[in-house]
Amino acid sequence: MNKIYIFSGLGVDKRVFDNIDFSDLNAVFVDWINPLKDESLESYAQRISKDFEKDCILIGLSFGGMLAVEVSKIIQTKRVILIASAKNKNELPKWFLLAGRLRLNHLVPSLLLKTTNFSTNWLFGAVTPLEKQLLKNIIKDTDPKFLKWAINQIVNWKNIAVPQNCIHIHGTNDRILPSKYLKVDYTIKNGGHFMTVNKAKEIESIIKMLCC
């Protein structure tokens, strides 16, 4: 069975996949490593994948999907599965790229990035009290230095290629990466950016079909 490497979203851990059963798959949740000073996403991908097996399957959520795309340029993969993510810079909202060119992301205080409120819940699609608490805990536990580094990588992403054997799963209600910018393979109706939590079984069935 092919090894499956799973990347979570923006600095978060595997809690966002708790509602998906990977027990019958040869899956490994990849822990984030600290980026080096001024490190590029390409260099980071090299370091984090140095022990990966060839012919593996990569699963990436949000920013983790962008990282999976970069890793797929380095090692031979059987499949790349993106969830609530983007395949290249052309699928990012235009204001992301504008923010990168104008360096607006550097003006946002780290404390503000660590704050959750009504707007944060709306953006991510966290609806129930349990979902909102999970999102709050995840953001609270995220290293602010990593968060700023990752946001800088997103708004300055240069990739224009699409990985071979890439499968894209996306929600119709994703407010962070709106589906209108994307060409997707599997659409999750009413799925938002937090859909691995609240649309888990639909995503699980797709993953198992692609990985088994």
Q: 16 in helix, strand or coil?
A: helix
Q: Which domain holds residue 149?
A: 4-211
Which domain CATH number covers 55? 3.40.50.1820
Q: Give per-residue pLDDT as tens, 94-127.
A: 766 555 554 544 445 454 455 677 788 888 888 9
Q: Give per-residue pLDDT as tens, 136-153.
A: 888 888 888 888 898 889
Q: 97 in helix, strand or coil?
A: helix
Residue 67 has pLDDT above 90, yes or no: yes
Query: pTM of the prediction?
Result: 0.92
The residues, ordered by sequence, that sit 6+ positions from 137 with a Cβ below 8 Å of its Cβ are: 15
Q: Please give the structure tokens belonging to residue 21.
A: 């059963």
What is the domain count for the chain? 1
Give the integer Cα–Cα distance in Å for 212 and 200.
18
Q: Give per-residue pLDDT as tens, 31-41.
A: 999 999 999 99
The percentage of the chain sitting over the pLDDT mark of 90, rounded to a whole number, equals 66
Q: Determine contact, residues 70/45, Cβ cutoff 8 Å.
A: yes
Instruction: Read off the amino acid at residue 29.
Output: F
Q: Determine contact, residues 154/63, Cβ cutoff 8 Å.
A: yes
Give the integer Cα–Cα distance in Å for 86 and 181.
9
Q: Please tell me the number of Cα atoms within 13 Å of 79 on its side-chain side.
A: 16
